[in-house]
Amino acid sequence: MGIVILLLFYLLTPFFINYLCFKSSVLQKLGAVLIAYLFGLILGNIGVFPEASQAMMELIANRNIQLTPDLVNEFHQDGTLTEDDIQYFQVFKLQDTLTTLAIAFALPLLLFSLNIRSWFKIAGKTFLSLFLGLISVIIPIFVGYFLFRDHIDEPWKVAGMMTGVYSGGTPNLASIQKALDVDTLTYLLTHTYDIAIGAVFILFVMSIGQRVLLNFLPAYKKTGIVEEGIDINTDPTINRIFFEPVQKKFLLPNLAALGVALIIILLSAGLGELVRKESQMVVIILSITTLSIFASMIKKVHQIEKTFDYGMYFILIFSIVVASMADLRYFSTSHIDIFYWVILVYLGSLIIHISLAAIFKIDADNVIIVSTALTCSPPFVPVVAGALKNKEIVVSGLTVGIVGYAVGNYLGILVAGFLQTL
């Protein structure tokens, strides 16, 4: 497959996926990220990519060697690598560059829409439920680490990714994958298992979850006031004009937002040059996160509409590319332990959260919406709130989820670093 054609596929497919979700309510409920993964998996496993030799795979896996086109050509001339290896390396470099750039631009654009002031307006019990929810997630992640660490390669990295995704969402999972240099197949399977178990969790909280939790927790006391203040639309059930984000009135301001994002990326890359090579990506990701949060406090940046949509476009690019890098022929049953770990986190976090909420007398609706925001990300909050027939908790749930986007990278990398030392 020609490099130019492959690049166009990666850049244009997100528009097609968004159009499919726009036209089909079924696909909309599946989610654009999942569909992007499916597109990527199909592309990566139908035999259109050149096949690498064992020597090429070993060179790529060797983190002590920085492969460059010139070095690859040298290995080719001395007979170590084949012609297919040259083509494989071209595809690999494109994929590696796109995943790095996609995350680097996605993070600022997603975080520009943060409303820091709204964090302090969260009702006391919701803030407490957020704190308890984070504790409830981290405990089973640690338990799973000690249960499965002998059966999973680099389990501390998996723990870091899980912490990121269950305190924030897919952007955090993707960021931590890049920061910790997680194997592509491990990343993909972790997220695939998360999507599968997450679907069961959403079905539970939207059907019988409230009735079950009311056996242990008090009911929500409605105030009759529906809060307002979140300025990003994360409700996938609202009909929107297709291609609305690229209309002139949104496009030009977002080009400026991309410029701000580029400045943040360059500053972060400069900071990364100040540390050892093995720590560079961690420093870069955390610097991008921190500088983007500061940028969101600048009124002119924060008020740019649709930056969240543009950020999700880059997340879809990342999802397609990283999925296309996963060769499922290398899948082994050893990865099933990650599946068990994901189940443990979902079940364990919910049980612990309910137990702690019962002690602090937090209502069932708050526990459900915070658990949804943390484990399944903000877009599911309005949907679940609708199933609970409680619009009053939408803003609190969205704010919790957005706080998770902001802190997920810090928590994930912190947990991974701690477990690596054990």
Q: What totals of helices (H) and strands (E) does the chain contain, helices first?
A: 20, 0
| Phi, psi at 166, each rounded to 5° | -95, 0
- What are the pLDDT digits (tens) for 386-416? 788 887 787 777 778 878 888 889 999 999 9
- Say whether pLDDT at 331 is over 90: no
Task: Give the confidence band of 260 by pLDDT, cuts at 50, 70, 90.
Answer: very high
Instruction: Please write down the HEC assignment for all residues of 90-103.
Output: HHHHHHHHHHHHHH
Return the structure tokens found at 23.
């036209």
Please answer whether residues 157 and 416 qualify as being in contact, where contact means their C-beta atoms are separated by less than 8 angstroms: yes
Please answer whether residues 76 and 284 qualify as being in contact, where contact means their C-beta atoms are separated by less than 8 angstroms: no
Provide the sign of the torsion angle of the four alpha carbons 268, 107, 401, 339, taken in this order: negative
Return the structure tokens found at 174.
């993707």
3-state secondary structure (DSSP) of residue 266:
helix
Please answer whether residues 107 and 175 qualify as being in contact, where contact means their C-beta atoms are separated by less than 8 angstroms: yes
- What are the pLDDT digits (tens) for 109-156? 888 877 766 656 655 666 787 889 899 999 999 999 999 999 888 899
- What are the pLDDT digits (tens) for 74-110? 888 888 888 888 888 899 899 989 988 998 898 898 8
Mean predicted confidence (pLDDT) in 359-375:
89
* DSSP state at residue 392: G
Return the structure tokens found at 318.
């990342």
| Tokens 């600022």, located at residue | 108
Nearest alpha-carbon partner for 371 in 204, 220, 170: 204
Give the pLDDT score at 49.
87
Q: For the chain, which residues make up each domain, given as ranges?
A: 1-219+243-422
Give the pLDDT score at 270.
94
Q: Report how far residue 338's alpha carbon sits from residue 156's, in angstroms, rounded to the nearest whole number.
A: 12
Please answer whether residues 228 and 395 qualify as being in contact, where contact means their C-beta atoms are separated by less than 8 angstroms: yes
Instruction: Name all contacts of 54-59 with Cβ < 8 Å and 24+ positions apart.
Output: 55/80, 55/81, 55/85, 56/81, 56/82, 56/85, 56/88, 56/89
Give the pLDDT score at 181.
86
Q: Report how far residue 149's alpha carbon sits from residue 406's, in angstroms, rounded to the nearest whole number.
A: 28
Q: Report how far residue 147's alpha carbon sits from residue 348's, in angstroms, rounded to the nearest whole number.
A: 14
Return the structure tokens found at 78.
């001395």
- What are the pLDDT digits (tens) for 9-44? 999 999 999 888 888 877 877 778 778 888 988 898
The separation between the first and the last C-alpha atoms of the chain, rounded to the nearest angstrom, is 45
| Tokens 């997450």, located at residue | 198
| Tokens 């054990």, located at residue | 422
Q: Distance from CA of residue 338 to its chain's centroid? A: 17
Task: Work out the mean pLDDT of the chain and round it to a whole number.
Answer: 84
Q: Report how far residue 240's alpha carbon sits from residue 98's, in angstroms, rounded to the nearest whole number.
A: 28
| Phi, psi at 225, each rounded to 5° | -110, 125
| Phi, psi at 93, each rounded to 5° | -65, -40
DSSP states along 330-382: G--GGGHHHHHHHHHHHHHHHHHHHHHHHHHT--HHHHHHHHHHHHH-GGGHH
- What are the pLDDT digits (tens) for 288-306? 988 998 998 888 998 898 8
**What number of other Cβ atoms are within 10 A of residue 336's Cβ?**
15
Please answer whether residues 123 and 396 qualify as being in contact, where contact means their C-beta atoms are separated by less than 8 angstroms: yes
Return the structure tokens found at 202.
């959403």
